[in-house]
Structure 1
């Protein structure tokens, strides 16, 4: 066999139940063709030496808001609560257009690649202008990034008891028609797809009941995933009790979302009984530890959810609440948060890595092809780099060292068999131009003088 690409001299984490201390991975036709121990490597057109470093499946980002990197660390609302933060930033996000969304998506994907992420969803729920998700898909194609777009939506402005201004919400028919358009134009359910589409009303308190019900109906018709924020803040409980006479989870069940199609972001404040019901229904959850800790609204008990049978992934969340897009940092924070919450025996680096790979793939309904490196998997993988100083003395367990030492960066990131990060830097010829234009749009949106 002549492989297209060979990664050799690596400690390979294939998935939770298979690791190779000194091995190689052969890639052919954009798939993992074979894995073996060092000394048995096939010939290859291109060879990457890992030099004994850790190689893992590409990490999977199961919750993000990419456009928010246009308002990172925005000083007037940096230290607000969730609702204060949202109401402070919604008026700025009303200035988004297709070009600013393209630029912010491009930057987000470049940053994710540098942090070892090879597949990401994005929850785009602010729509002051049309065709914003089309711009995101264009950016993903230009880069060669595996992207799961989600058609987010909001219908309730401040006039209807919601938080955002009227300029960023839409009517029910516009949302449903555009959802169908995007799915029919871009959703690729085939094996090895680079672009898929899910439906993702922003939250229970930002859309009408009809949007929730009709989104579930469309998901059934087109065989789609469903995504929303759920049980993120105590104020959500108050809102649901006042408006719907039930808890957020009970409302989620009532509108037909408690199914294996759904994954939810955060899920911080459910009851134990509610966790059990959604786990049994096949709903997955995404923990966003850095964002939750910065906003100070609590964080999901990821290992507790997993113990009840719920699959749990990791997400960066908004780039104006986390202010970074590193899945490595999210995984490390998840590990620290889990051990801080439940004790030193409660969580290991392999638990965090499993969440960042297989868990994220489960959220996207894609764990047959991504999130692992078994033969036949999509050729998405990362060779991790860490300074020799940071690793000095760490000789017994490369996976534990990956999160306990640090910081780690992706030295080589491979997506769909293509090298997109090399020597720790994105292999993107247009990146400097995009950064320059991104700065112009960020200053415009933040109303800053040039």
Structure 2
């Protein structure tokens, strides 16, 4: 357990150019910086000044630091960058455990009618639950892809943004959309989709209302038509134009299943990657979820254009979608991060378990050297920052970057006999989070959220899940 906050008797704060700078010092901990050289320290320190990392190094922190308001003894801990989630559907928190034995298309057909009944209170409760589970487990930057907007449901995107702000997590929501209903050859029922014009107008309004492009931003908006089987070619093309006019990133699902690949060939006469390229959807401002069924040409196209991938190993396994060729993608230079995906297809809702699952799944598919512990950690940190276009700001522990970091307890029962602390958190059980800083602010301490009431969130999520079930049952 970390030592309690201790004030520095020499000086509580220092004033520079009229700005109060308060420092937090973490010492005596193992550190995995995940920088370009994978620098690690067996015993080192991190100094946080305001919301920035001021210095990282071996041994004790520098002498004579002023403005130290907290000193943390990190003995028995590993400090890493905060985890970055690159794909999620928060609303699914209140529909977990359904369609337990279905593939993707059957699962979607089963759940679309339920999801079409969601409203703002449900989405706020679901977002709180999704975020709480991730943040408590080391996530410091969350992403969500919300694409279901029933008429009269309220401000669903705003409900998510409000939940993230309440918790204090860095957030990259995307305004999703669907305009290809079943009558137009799509998968979702007609009552679950928007018109193309309405989707584009609402997406632009979301960007204008919420997007903050600053270095320190806690909120970035993306443009995210759902998938090739739920949106029109016109929506894909116009969404790409809109995103680039506004200077924001693009996100969608791609190459998730063999059924999707066949759908694209039947409807468009080409596979998903070629279809995306024909609509302007490859580029270094784009990332796609899953990308399970990619051939050599597809991987080369992603590498050539800098298109990123959100790898979701647990969800892909739960829906029997297959195993993405992540080792081949990494070798080719494709940016790859990790994603929880919606909790109706990954009921644990945690990203730190994806480090282990990614390693195990790829070794099962590709042998004992397919992925190692440090590659898995990089996928969950710097790789995620790359995919979200924030690698200059987050994803590694380096001076000048934003102070998003996690202290993992590795001297307890589950980890104390593993000498390598990185192996401990990847190969071992889910490690407790003793301290998580987001933007320099403590958000988790001793495995408990500091900014919100976990029990209240659990009750609210349960109540909204039951309310949704009653509404669906009533027809």
Q: TM-score, normalised by structure 1?
A: 0.96
Give, in angstroms, the shift of residue 386 of structure 1: 4.3
Answering whether residue 226 of structure 2 is matched by residue 202 of structure 1, we say yes
RMSD: 1.6
Give, in angstroms, the shift of residue 340 of structure 1: 1.4
Alignment of 1:101-180 (within 5 A): 101-128=123-150, 129-180=153-204
Alignment of 1:47-446 (within 5 A): 47-74=71-98, 77-128=99-150, 129-386=153-410, 388-395=412-419, 397-446=420-469
1:28 aligns with 49
Give, in angstroms, the shift of residue 165 of structure 1: 2.5
> How many equivalent residue pairs?
446
Query: Structure 1: which 5+ residue stretches go unaligned?
Result: none
Cα deviations by residue, 1:313-345 (Å, 9 ceiling, x for unpaired): 100001000112221100100011121111112
Give, in angstroms, the shift of residue 218 of structure 1: 0.8
2:29 aligns with 10
Answer with 358-367 or 9-18: which moved more.
Answer: 9-18
Contact kept, 8 Å, 2:206 with 2:221, in 1: the verdict is: yes
Contact kept, 8 Å, 2:180 with 2:188, in 1: the verdict is: yes
Contact kept, 8 Å, 1:22 with 1:52, in 2: the verdict is: no
Cα deviations by residue, 1:244-285 (Å, 9 ceiling, x for unpaired): 111111110000111111001111112201210121011011
Give, in angstroms, the shift of residue 3 of structure 1: 4.5
Cα deviations by residue, 1:401-421 (Å, 9 ceiling, x for unpaired): 221222313221111111111
Contact kept, 8 Å, 1:30 with 1:416, in 2: the verdict is: yes
Query: Structure 2: which 5+ residue stretches go unaligned?
Result: 1-13, 15-20
3-state SS, counterpart of residue 91 of structure 2? helix
Q: TM-score, normalised by structure 2?
A: 0.91
Give, in angstroms, the shift of residue 439 of structure 1: 1.1
Cα deviations by residue, 1:275-301 (Å, 9 ceiling, x for unpaired): 101210110111100010111110212
Answer with 36-45 or 259-268: which moved more.
Answer: 36-45
CA distance in 2, matches of 1:346, 1:156: 39
3-state SS, counterpart of residue 200 of structure 1? strand
Cα deviations by residue, 1:157-210 (Å, 9 ceiling, x for unpaired): 222222223332101111011111010111111111000000011101100111
Runs of 4+ in 1 over 6 A off after TM superposition: none
Contact kept, 8 Å, 1:156 with 1:162, in 2: the verdict is: yes
Give, in angstroms, the shift of residue 97 of structure 1: 0.8
CA distance in 1, matches of 2:453, 2:434: 20
Cα deviations by residue, 1:210-261 (Å, 9 ceiling, x for unpaired): 1100111011111111011111111111111111111111110000111111
CA distance in 1, matches of 2:432, 2:277: 40
Give, in angstroms, the shift of residue 130 of structure 1: 4.2
Q: From the superposition, tell whether residues 429 and 267 of structure 1 become closer, same or farther in structure 2 (CA, over 3 Å).
A: closer
CA distance in 2, matches of 1:233, 1:28: 46
Give, in angstroms, the shift of residue 387 of structure 1: 5.9
Contact kept, 8 Å, 1:154 with 1:170, in 2: the verdict is: yes
CA distance in 2, matches of 1:209, 1:24: 51
